[in-house]
Structure formats: C-alpha cells, structure tokens
Structure 1
Amino acid sequence: MAADHRGAPGADDLANLEWRRLRYFVAVAEAGTVTEAARRLHIAQPSLSQQIRLLERSLGTPLFQRLPRGMELTEQGRLVLGGVNRALGELRSSVAAARAVALTATVGLCRGVPQSVLARAEQVMTHGQRLRIGYEQADSQSQVRLLRAGALAFGILRTPVDDSGLTLCTVNDEPLGVVLHRRHPLAGRPELTWPELSGQRLLWFPAARAPGYAATVLECLQNHGWTPETLPEEHSSHTLFRHHLMGHDDLVALRTRSASSGDPDLLWRPVGPEPPRERLALAAAAHSAWAGRLTAVTTDDPAGSST
C-alpha cells in the first residue's frame, strides 16, 4: 500500500487522535485479522475496517499490509504499536499510583462529640478505603450551609436539621442525663425524676448552634413539666463548664453518658421517664461523591449508641 503523506501530522497534531481508533488498531494487531478483532471488540467488521483506514489517514502512514491470510504490521505499524503499548503501560502505572494516594476530606465537627462516636463516623467515611481526614470545628447549623456549598465533604452534627439536599446517616442515638457537681443536693440520687428538677436552672448552649436539636430537647423538658431558666454556655472549654456547675446548688447540665468527662467532681445521673435524646448524624451533600459512602452503610444499630 503506497503511503499518502499529504497532511501527515506533526507532533502537535496527535492531540486529534481518537483513543478508540488506537484501541482498535491494537486489537487488529493482536488478532491478526479484522474478522477476529471485530469479534473480540463486538463490532461489525466493515466498521472496524473503516476505523483502521481513518487512523492510517490521520497518521499519514500505512499501519498494515492487507494479505490473503490476514493483517500484517508494516514497519511503521510496529513502531506505532510499540509507542501505544508504552503509553498504555505508563497510563496503567499512573492510574495505579493515583489510586494509591489517599483522598482528602474536610469534615465539620460540632462540639461535644465523644471519641467512640468519632471512631464510628470515621469507619463510615472511609468505608474500607484510604482517606485523609481533616476536621474543622463548626456548629450543626453552619455545617448544613457548608455542606450544601461544597466546603465540607462530611459533617458530624446534631439532628434534627433541615436535611433538604443532604444525605444523613445516624452514628449515635443516646438519652440525655443530668450533670451536676458532687455536693449538689441531688447528687445522692442514683436516678432523677422530672419533679426533682423543678427550680433547677439549666446550663445550656446557644440555641443558634443547633436550633432543631435545642427546640426538640426544650420541648421535651416542657412536656415533662420542667421549663428551666437557661444559662448560656458560650464556650466549649471543660474548665469553664466545670466552673459554672461547681458551687451552684440550682444549676445542672444535660449530657449523654458517653460525652460526660471523667471529672471526679462532676456526676452524671439518668433522668426519666422518657428522657430527651441526642442524635448525632454523619451528613454529606446528597449529590456528592461522598454521599455514596453513607448510603452504602447499614445503620440498623449504630455502633456506640445506647438505649
């Protein structure tokens, strides 16, 4: 076959080559005949022959000799095949190296999340894959906005929240109990009832951080006959939390058992009946690549949760 060098491509023209045609060229070179290559590729033989001709035209050089027994590579074809195979090898190595690099995810974290819950959330986020996680302190309400804006991959937040556009996976569901100092008049009770909390003030976080959660808990208290005066807890420091509770016989806080510290001067007591609950969820934007990790996990009995 005579070479037609009109319009032969320079190095810069290779960008116009179609990967599909190169793949077809390799298949024909390996199979030795267009008929066998078409069978392996699951395409029609005439279509494959046309694609090979178009590739030769775009390269400006013959790649095969058409012989009665099949297709034989020309010298030019052998050179092109070697280049394509080297390029494929480099591509495979690059893809393998890229897959070996851990993804990075920025995760919003609300205050007071126990370590056991954080570990459970990380199991869900990694889902058996390598993932480099960086945490960013953010309240539950802010996380909803940041997730929708794509500024966070995941968020660990208190529910309920406006979950439109989000995918949520519960990672902890635990009853709240009462935290008080060990010399508090109620400290000797192994379990508290709602009437015993009458007259007690509540050390409480600013509701704007998690308005849905705050409203749900306070409504539960009111339904049980306790409408406490709230003392805002502006800081997340345990030292300040402890300082507020110590020495006040009319001030208590609400925490889950798992979030209560090992401070010897503070006690945690269950309260009932029907205490409010804290539900922590792992969230991602619904249409993001991260959301698939949440929907793939079964959470019938979230690890670390208590009843």
Structure 2
Amino acid sequence: MELRHLRYFIAVAEEGHITRAAERLGMQQPPLSQRIKAIERELDVQLFRRKARGVELTEAGRVFLDHARAMLTQNERAIESTRRSARGEQGRLCVGVTPTGPFHPFVPRIIRAFREAFPLVSLTLEECLSPELLKRLRNEQMDAAFLRTPMAEPEDLVVDALLEEPMVMALPSAHALAQYAGDDAVSLKDLAGETFIVYARQHGPGLYDATTAACLKAGFSPRLGQEAPRITSALSLVAAGLGICAVPASLERMIMDGVAYRRLKGPNQPKAVLNLASRRGDPSAVVRHFRSLVRRAARDFHTDWVKAA
C-alpha cells in the first residue's frame, strides 16, 4: 500500500462520497472506487458501508482513518525534518571553548545569536584546553572550537582569526602596584622582578607565549613560578600572593577576593587572540551557518569595540 492510497482513503472518509472525493483528488470516480476496494481486500476488512447517497466508515474504517492520518503526518514531518537538516536549520552542533573563552563577551553573545537564529539546532558547549579541543575536532567529536592559541592553519582544519584583546596583569591586592587608584596602568618593565604564575604552559601555551614574548621585548626574561592547569587556579595562586599573572582583559569581570587587575602601558603589550577552528571540508550545513555567523559577528564586534575604546 502506497502513501497515495492512504490519501485516497482519507479523502473518501472525509467526503463521505466517492464522487466528491474523486473531484477533490482530481481523478475519475471508477479508478477511485477500484482502489478503495483493493485496500479493503489487502486489509481483509470492510472499511465503508455503502449507502444510497454515499458511504460511511465502519468501526474498522474509523480505526484505520486515525492510523492513516498519523502515518501521513509522520511522513510529512520526516520529509520536512530532512529538508531542514539539509538546509542547516536542524541538527546538532558541539562547540568547544578554552577555559578563558567564555569570559570574552563575544563567545556567549554568539552562542545566544546562533540559538535565536537556529532554534531547532541542538547546541552543546564543552570546555577543554587547546590540545584536547584540536584532538576532538579531528576525531569528529566536536564541530567547532574557540581557541586562544595563535596557530598556522593546518591542512585538516580551517582557522578563522576573530579578535584580539589586550592582556592585563592580575596582582595580589596587597601588591604595591595594586594600590594605584582607579584604572592607572603599569609598565611591564616595572614587573621584571616579579614571579609570573604560569597558566597551562604545556597544554594551552597561547597566553604563556604572548606573555613571554612581551617580557623579552621589554628587556627581561620572566621568572616563572608555579604552573596552574586552569585560569581560576592561576588567579587563586595570585590571590595567595605567590606571584602575578597576565590574563586577557575580559578576565577582569572575574572578581576574586585578593586579586586586583591593572592595565599595561607602553609598547609591546601582550595580546590574547580568539580564533575559531573547524574541520576543513566539513559537509555539515549547520557548521557552515555557525562559521558564517561567527565571522560576521566578529567583524561587527570589532567595529563596536573600536568605537567604544
């Protein structure tokens, strides 16, 4: 039995008259009558009682009508769902982000924008350090990832450079340079004698490399202290007075007792980048929509940020 045969049956059931149903379907009455009889033979049940002025459903016919409508509805939903998936309007998207990424206002903003634009896409966020993010991307366990590490574009990935922001110094609140009033900036040279807390040097070296390069350009090699696996751990070490740490300016929104943030002044200030990585040649329309939305939003965000500055 084909889906069109179900439509024939439903039309006759709703019209209660084979001739009117045939007109509604745009076909002749004899072929429709033959098809209804064929359906009854196939099911081995009587679906209609013939009356002088039409037909009426039997009890078996009413049961079959409910199921026929449900089957057609399910088929139409499956077709529409398939088409939405092909257009990238429905599906799944797993996005990775480094531990410092969510503090940048761009990241939650773009996630909200994508969910509003594509409400039928199931989006999940996973937090990992950069090497793990790249591993999951390559293993197809993740579709896209926000990275803090500058990187040359490998053959298997596409890396979109989105934004960069200045880095600030996280100081113990009792530190002499933390006693400045307001937003007074400090010079990187003034920190040459300090101990620098190392954040994810081996597994997320982007911020460490930026800090080290800036210190070298300022004329000194930073004295390295304890290494912290997460940015929250690094700030906890700062709060405990064990050293200072350069962090992206967006981390200033993380208020922690015992930690003060100071802007840097002078040339060669370290910068923190924000990139988006995805698999090269990924056929997913959902991923294409996400990348496109991220790139457009990054351009607008950069313009608004410059104006605000």
- Shorter-chain TM range is 0.5 to 0.7
Structure 1 residue 267 corresponds to structure 2 residue 260: yes
Task: Specify the alignment match of 1:174 in structure 2.
Answer: 165
Structure 1 residue 192 corresponds to structure 2 residue 180: no
CA contact (8 A) 1:139 1:209 kept: yes
Cα distance in 2 for partners of 1:225, 1:182 equals: 26
Residues 198 and 214 (structure 1), Cα distance of their counterparts in 2 relative to 1, 3 Å cut: closer
> Which residue identity is paired with 1:109?
V
1:138 CA drift (Å):
1.3
Task: Specify the alignment match of 1:294 in structure 2.
Answer: 291
Alignment of 1:136-215 (within 5 A): 136-164=126-154, 165-189=156-180, 190-215=184-209
> Which residue identity is paired with 1:185?
A
Q: Secondary structure at the match of 2:193?
A: coil
Q: Secondary structure at the match of 1:259?
A: helix
Cα distance in 1 for partners of 2:81, 2:235 equals: 50
1:217 CA drift (Å):
3.5
CA contact (8 A) 1:158 1:279 kept: yes
- TM-score relative to the length of structure 1: 0.64
2:246 to 246, 250, 254: 254
Residues 257 and 214 (structure 1), Cα distance of their counterparts in 2 relative to 1, 3 Å cut: closer
Residues 292 and 247 (structure 1), Cα distance of their counterparts in 2 relative to 1, 3 Å cut: closer
Cα distance in 2 for partners of 1:262, 1:112 equals: 14
Structure 1 residue 221 corresponds to structure 2 residue 215: yes
CA contact (8 A) 2:170 2:246 kept: yes
> Which residue identity is paired with 1:129?
F
Cα distance in 1 for partners of 2:277, 2:109 equals: 13
> Which residue identity is paired with 1:120?
R
2:100 to 112, 121, 134: 112
Consecutive unaligned residues of structure 2, counting only runs of 5 or more, are 5-26, 40-67
1:180 CA drift (Å):
0.5
Residues 138 and 148 (structure 1), Cα distance of their counterparts in 2 relative to 1, 3 Å cut: same
Structure 1 residue 233 corresponds to structure 2 residue 233: no
CA contact (8 A) 2:172 2:243 kept: no
Count of equivalent residues: 239
1:176 CA drift (Å):
0.1
Task: Specify the alignment match of 1:121 in structure 2.
Answer: 110
Consecutive unaligned residues of structure 1, counting only runs of 5 or more, are 1-10, 15-21, 23-70
1:283 CA drift (Å):
2.3
Structure 1 residue 280 corresponds to structure 2 residue 274: yes
TM-align CA RMSD: 3.8
Structure with the larger helix share:
2
CA contact (8 A) 2:157 2:279 kept: yes
Cα distance in 2 for partners of 1:174, 1:305 equals: 10
1:160 CA drift (Å):
0.7
1:220 CA drift (Å):
2.4
Cα distance in 1 for partners of 2:33, 2:290 equals: 46
Task: Specify the alignment match of 2:18 in structure 1.
Answer: none
1:75 CA drift (Å):
1.6
CA contact (8 A) 1:108 1:135 kept: yes
Task: Specify the alignment match of 2:45 in structure 1.
Answer: none
> Which residue identity is paired with 2:77?
S
Residues 90 and 236 (structure 1), Cα distance of their counterparts in 2 relative to 1, 3 Å cut: closer
